[in-house]
Structure 1
Amino acid sequence: MDAFVKDKMNQSMNDRKQYHSRFLENCSTYNSFLELEKKAFEAGSLSRKHKELMALSISIVTKCEPCIEWHVQQACLTGASDKEIYETIDVALEMGGGPAAYSRFALNALDFYKKQA
């Protein structure tokens, strides 16, 4: 993994941590968003792992790098295998067409988190 990718991953994580408290203090909708996120990712008929994989696919299609980074990390933490992540990327590519080639960022995130383990 090159330094640019590693720096990008670290910057994404640092931004999330740094701005979390500012959002809590200043954005009236942020707590509601956190509650929505908590409820949406609770295990139910679908496991949390499957919900994280769904979110990863959506993140790829919408080209949201911070979302891709986050949902790859969360999918790994819930026990998603590399194969499950690759199949998730397959779905994103099919649903998103050419622009979903943005899934390369998901591979960078996967490599980054595998090295953290």
Structure 2
Amino acid sequence: MTEFFDREGDRAYTKVYKETTPDILTAFTQFDAAVFASEGREIPLKYRELIALAVGITTQCVYCIDAHANKAKAAGATETELAETAWVATAIRAGGGFAHGRLAFKLAEGHSH
């Protein structure tokens, strides 16, 4: 993916969180586990993983893309569902650019050269 991405090796850096902010790490881990619990949620896990994948694609987080693409597949997502998820994320990013372009026109209104 990138020269900075190392799925296995990068996990070693979690030790900084463990050593410096273990309470926050524990709270985050529990929160994440609750969000992605396999049971007890209204939205099925496959769809939550596809949502997470779309967000990861939108924010361009290689770690999220890696984790949630694999977890979505494990939860039963098809390649077509992954593709459609990527297209949804792409549309949202493009829509954001379009909308912020309009905001630029609004903010620049009344300013002359």
Pairwise same-fold verdict (TM > 0.5): yes
Tell me, in whole angstroms, the C-alpha distance in 2 between the residues paired with 1:61 and 1:6. Answer: 17
Equivalent residue runs for 1:58-97 within 5 Å? 58-97=55-94
Tell me, in whole angstroms, the C-alpha distance in 2 between the residues paired with 1:65 and 1:29. Answer: 23
Q: Number of aligned residue pairs: give it.
A: 94
- Secondary structure of 2:76's match? coil
Deviation at 1:65, TM superposition (A): 1.2
Which runs of at least 4 in structure 1 moved beyond 3 Å after TM superposition? 5-9
Q: Which of 15, 23, 27 matches 1:32?
A: 27
TM-score (structure 2 length as normaliser): 0.70
- Runs (5+) with no aligned partner, structure 1: 100-117
- Secondary structure of 2:42's match? coil
Tell me, in whole angstroms, the C-alpha distance in 2 between the residues paired with 1:62 and 1:6. Answer: 16
Q: Which of 36, 49, 52 matches 1:55?
A: 52
The equivalent residue for 2:17 is 23
The equivalent residue for 1:112 is none
The equivalent residue for 1:113 is none
Cα gap change, 1:13/1:74 in structure 2, threshold over 3 Å: closer, same or farther?
farther
- Between the two structures, name the one with larger relative contact order (CA 8 Å, sep ≥ 6): 1
Larger Rg over CA atoms: 2
Give percent identity, aligned residues only: 27
- Runs (5+) with no aligned partner, structure 2: 97-113
Deviation at 1:54, TM superposition (A): 0.1
Say what the alpha-carbon RMSD is for the aligned residues: 2.4
1:14 corresponds to which letter in structure 2? G
Deviation at 1:19, TM superposition (A): 2.5
Deviation at 1:12, TM superposition (A): 2.8
